[in-house]
Chain A
Amino acid sequence: MLLNLVVMVVFCLPAGGAASSGQLLSEPSPGVRGDIQIWSWNIAAASLEKLIPSFQERYPGVRISIDMNGSSVQSRFMLSLSAGVGAPDLSQLQAREAPRYALTGKLTDLTAVARKYERAFAPSFWDSCVQDGRIYSIPWDIGPCAVYYKRSLFTKYGIDPEAIETWEDYVAAGKTLLERSNGQTKMLCLALGGLSDFFEILLQQSGGQIFDAEGRIALYSNETLESLTVIKKIMDAGINANIFPWSFEYFASFKSNSIATYPMASWFGGLMRDYAPDTSGDWGVFRLPAFRAGGLRNSNLGGSVLVIPAQSTQKEAAWAFAEYAMCTPQAQLDQYRDFDLYPALLSTHQDPFFDEPVPFFGGQKVRRLFSLDIDKIQTMNRTTDWMEAVRYIAQALSKWTAGEREAPEIVLAALEEKLSRRLNRPVAPGSPSGKGRP
């Protein structure tokens, strides 16, 4: 069956098609006409759908249909780009996945129309839309991070969330919790096979990278070392439950008292509300612990962008909608209010909506909390191999944490060598692993 699948992909090849010019040079006029098709998934698709009426007040000539066939969007998108036909006029992509398409010439170059928004978004999100100085996508939602905690458990076991400022404090609080609950309550879910999300949060917070700006392997650094050390301390202290993220058990844990905190992104709150509406009011959020006192207390996980495939014949209309949905404060705020999509557009963060108390979080002003220091989050050098690299890292971390957990230095040195070999990229010069050769 699988062989057939591979074979079918290969079959869908005839390249060419109706690809028009790969650049969008002029601003859309209010009278622009066209039928555009958009690919997106779950709540994001629903949120775009809701924007259509207000969009059509500005651009009455544009008709929009949104296709939300969830899981297969990514592979269908790749196939339609490869085939040269069948791609939508506008598509959602995961932010970390977009760079692999940018330099293939299959996406519309938006530089001429989008450059004016360069300062409108936080640098780390904007930069991932730019490759070689050209703009290929536009940021949509982002995933600033913090720690969700259960108020009743923290009160019961006498833990003060405000006192947790560093990861050191976090591990200490976890130990207290474990002790006072007689082992019934663990601090967080962190499974051997599910380390990659947590590692990505730590990596981006720490200032570490997988690749340097030239695309060389630069995993081994003091920052990455710190990230691994946090994982090691958590595992060594035994304050984690070995529960796979996104498993049924994981979602069930919202309602039980077995897990006290979830270090996660802003969009996670929406999931909690969906899975455990009756826990409303019992949740609070404290800022991501820093690596050392005074350090950065924010990071990013997830987030998505919008792109216009080069083969689209409705580029102007597509951009008109993308610009409305992504770069207009009101549209971005609507999406946040109704669908929990945290706006990438910085000007929205000044809106009074961010200072409203949120009942689900016991009246806390969590929207503001997530926005703090968002501009200080570093840009990740994604490259075309990001997804593959993350997979190798996750596999190595799983082996490492399952075994004796030797010093993180050893893991990182071996990983650098492996990434370099597998991805056919040199190790950055100056890497402490000593493998860096120009």
Chain B
Amino acid sequence: MNASLLHRIWAHRHFYLFISPFFLLFAVFGLYPLMFSFYLSFVQWDGLTPMTWVGLGNFQNMFHDEILLTSLWNTLIIGLLYVPPMFIGAFVFALLLNSAWLRCRGLFRAAFFLPVVTPMVVVAIVFGLLYGQEMGLLNYLAVKLGFARIPWIVSEEWSKISVSVLLVWRWTGYNMVLMLAGLQGISNEYYEAARIDGANAIQRMWHITIPLMRPVFIFCSIMSLIGTVYMFDEVFVMTQGGPGTSTTNFGLYLFNVSFTDFKFGYASSMAYTIAFFVFLASLLILRLRKSGTE
């Protein structure tokens, strides 16, 4: 660093001062913890007694950790169960809200977005009443209609489905708003030109809307990927990851390992490893976008 650079920084010190709050806060609450937890991945530590260095031991333990594998598997299954219906729902609702004939657009938009801002504890109470085994509303209807009771959240087979239904309900509105913004960003000129060329509605959808929505889809996919892996409150308040481990996803498992077992070293190594794979997956999704637009 030469003197003239320092001199120039000094000359513009006010601007550096103005942008410094973010960097200071980030350094204290972001960077330092990140680096420290990276260090923690190589130690064993319960937060109370001194740390012991274990090298790569924490990473080796991950291979023998069947609950970690189960939680990753659950994350995948729950993701596959809820992301496709959520995407389709969000896209369809966004299209409807974007159509010219619809009245009370703001009302619908707010209604669909409401689940995102509703506190999870309230949601859990309502869904708890819906999913109840003996006295729940859904099973009441099922029995009235002559079906057997469904063990919504008290059986290992159904619990993933029940959690996925909750997730679809909760996150469709959020994705819909993103997609609606994307749809509104598509210039009307494309559609006019296509109409003049004689393209029908399906052709316009397939050749204009969907290709131009690609960046939004990609953004939503990455957010959903990260959201599913680190999802926590939905399963924590609904099922605590149970019955058994049937709805324990990675985020909940990470929480259990750190805050009920106090294994901060192991938790850090898992968090880093999975974050690395999420990073790779996000890169892959972004690469798909590039190859699509070229």
Contacts and interface: CB of A to CB of B under 8 A. Distances in A.
A405 interface: no
A391 B32 CA distance: 33
A193 interface: yes
A249 interface: yes
Interface in B245-263: 245-246, 251, 254-256, 258-262
A1 B240 CA distance: 17
Chain A residues touching B, majority SS:
helix
Contact of A388 (B47, B230, B260): B260
A402 B155 contact: yes
A243 interface: yes
A9 B258 contact: yes
Contacts of B46: 100, 104, 384
Given A11-B36, A78-B47, A248-B132, A3 B271 contact: yes
- Residue of B34, B243, B260, B271 most packed against chain A (CB within 10 A): B243
B267 interface: yes
Nearest to B259: A75
Nearest to B151: A242
B47 A421 contact: no
Interface stretch (A25-33, A120-128, A252-260, A282-290): A252-260
A2 B260 contact: no
- Residue of B33, B34, B260 most packed against chain A (CB within 10 A): B33
A25 to B, nearest CB: 23
Contact of A242 (B48, B154, B262, B264): B154
B250 to A, nearest CB: 9
Contact of A395 (B36, B133, B244, B271): B244
B242 interface: yes
A96 interface: no
A379 interface: no
What 6 pairs between A and B have smallest CB-CB spacing? A193-B243, A398-B244, A7-B33, A193-B242, A104-B48, A82-B47
24 contacts: A1-B230, A3-B254, A6-B264, A6-B268, A7-B33, A7-B36, A8-B33, A9-B259, A10-B36, A10-B264, A11-B32, A11-B36, A81-B47, A104-B49, A192-B156, A193-B154, A193-B244, A242-B155, A243-B132, A248-B129, A252-B135, A391-B256, A396-B244, A398-B242
